[in-house]
Structure 1
Amino acid sequence: MKLKEEIELQKQMNIAELNDLDETTRIEVEGFRMGTYLRLEIHDVPYEMVQYFDPYHPILVGGIGFGEESNGYMQARLKKHRWHNKVLKTRDPIIVSIGWRRYQTIPIYAIEDQNGRHRMLKYTPEHMHCLAMFWGPLAPPKTGIIAVQSLVNNQKAFRITATAVILEFNHAARIMKKIKLVGYPCKIFKKTALIKDMFTSDLEIARFEGAAVRTVSGIRGQVKKAAKEEIGNQPKKKGQLREGIARCTFEDKILMSDIVFLRAWTQVEVPCFYNPLTTALRPRSQTWQGMKTVAELRRENNIPVPLNKDSIYKPVERRPRKFNPLVIPKTLQEALPFASKPKDIPRRKQPLLERRRAVVMEPHERRVHALFQQLQLIKQAKMKKKKLKNEQKRKELEAQKTKDEEISRKRKREERRERYREQEKLKSTKKRLRS
């Protein structure tokens, strides 16, 4: 309270001191007071501003700091407005209002991973913040931003698309996106293989030397260098060498049917696009039109969305894999039990002659065989009768058990009723005695 009183006292003293000065001296010391009519002289104004000047439309006049005159990359924390019914797409132009400036720019949306990497997003998240990197006149941190996609007045949906705040500005942007390169073996050595269709030139292979690769079966490997000596360095045409084949080493021998993947990160370039709004240089009846989105251009020209054949789900047709024969070292064979040791004698494909030979029985043997068959039939008939009898007996026991349980349930229910009646009579007697 004491500090406020001192400030108020100093303010009254300043006002009293300024009242004693003449008007010219007071303006030089204090500046122009609120409510004062001023005349501004503006230089280098386009003639369209004077031609389409509307006195009924106010013009805002402001000042720009010394550090806000240069252009650069700005990073903002952005969130899609909850009332806007569509998500925002990366590289779609938006109109932003930052401080005293309004301009159109092309943002790249990203999110920060745990390791500090800025990973590019194709669309903005639904209910959370993300990072937006765009090019434009630099603004100080913590400056508020409001973004729209169009300036037309007949828009049905909610016009404000997103809100944001400036985090930092810089002259370089580092936003990464994940890429996956696919290759196939063309020649296999023991633990080394030559991979084709993954790179297009030896320069690309040199760029990815030392990168980790992996097969579908989970075998890990590493890119070594471009392969020329291994393939004989034979040109396909006169004066041309076959490039783009990489030599990779793996932790185990791979197969020709394996597919090799290389996962890497590449930097995304943020477009240096800055288009200031020139609404004061045209009649008020005309709407300023900037760069259109890809969806608007397709809609105007009736161009369908391009269909990528690689994005269509295809039926999986797996060829039967042929595995190399298993080779067991001799030292390991000696330690194996006899049942697991490889046998030198191959298994017979046809049964032995004793199993294929027809057996002709004597009359006495036929009578004995027939007698055994009859005894077996008698035994099966007895077992069937016994099974039916046991099944019937089980059903009777279950029926008797169900009947006994029902009688027991009724008896218990009557006992509970009698007990509850006695308890109620005892309670009523106690109440009567108390009263």
Structure 2
Amino acid sequence: MTPSHPLLLAARRCERGALERLAATAELIVAAGRLIHTLQRERGTSAIYLASDGRRFTADRAARIADSQAAEASMGRHLALLAEAEGATSPAASLLYRAADVGGALEELTKLRRAVAARALAPGASTAAYNRLIGALLGLVFDTVDAHGDTRITVAMVALCHLLKGKELAGQERACGAQGFTAGHFDDAHRALLTRLADAQAGCFTTFLEFASPDAREHWASLLANDDEGPLPQLRRLAMHPEAAAGQSRDAARLGEVWYELTTRRIDAMYQVEKRLGEELMALCAERLSTLRQPPPSPPAPSDAARLDTAPLAASDVLNGQAATAALASPLNRSLLDLVRTQADRLQSLGHELESTRKALRERKLIERAKGVIMASQRLTEEQAYRYMRKTAMDQSRSMADLARAILDLAELLKAPGPGS
């Protein structure tokens, strides 16, 4: 056994422990996503129930509560397992703190439902309470995003988190639009907020599609290919252009219900994609763990091909969380605008936590491409190519990403036809 072999074994044990922790929380993430989805629907029906003094959405609210309670029970079981985990599967303290936040919010959910049933809360207060719980669940999911030694797992996590974030923004759009249509008009503050929510969703879904697997992208396209067509975009235009909304006040209640139904269908379609991503994540964890449980191969002996010339190579906005100033003084449900802004601030903060991960993933893609170039041109194994790149980067006091860009630039330069060709 070479001196490096025990270190390789120790590295694999460490990686396996991290992946076992991730596998232990993968089902928790899926359960959190399901609970977020059901609570988003319960939040909307509860607000309409309260706004109508209990005359509307009574049966719908009861059905949504039943769905949430089933998801809540599943979430409770997963939180209990998380608290009991020990040894290699013990989660990080930050994840446990997030889970404690969720547990505390869940304890208040029964009281919240009773207050809504008794119409002892204003619609804004009810929405704020649901926002706090949904925000805690989103924080739990976002806290799981980390590098786990397998790029595919981290990529899947980033895709899932951005889909969840975009879906919550879609839920905020549903609430904002329903309020405006029910009131019979949209003021400038409402229109500005709807625009920001739409732009923020587009940013989240663009990032989701960048990191999602081909299967998930295809599933998204099959369910939401016509997202920019049909009656929902027409209602958006009606909300955004006051001249088009003239004379619609008599149909306010009907338009509010149509809007709510159409946006709910859209969010439900997103949830189908979310479930697919959760299945992919668990499959990736299982596959990687199966690999790590196998004995590692012996390290390859150094070869003459590894001694290469190391001369320098030729180098070659989401929602900002602040509604418009006019929104703060809006006579049209100022509390709703404040609540949406608060939830958007929370989502923006969570999004910042992913920025370094997104950057690392894009740089890792560059390194993988450059490693492929080295393997092909020098006939090296993957491990030998990586060692060469790492040594070269250290010798030149540059990052691996910078070196990878230089290698790819040089490869493109060598491919380019010469002046006489």
**Same fold judged by TM-score > 0.5?**
no
Which structure has more strand as a fraction of its residues? Answer: 1
Determine which structure has greater relative contact order: mean sequence separation of CA pairs < 8 Å that are 6+ residues apart, divided by chain length. Answer: 2
Which structure has more helix as a fraction of its residues? Answer: 2
Give the alignment's TM-score, normalised by structure 1: 0.20
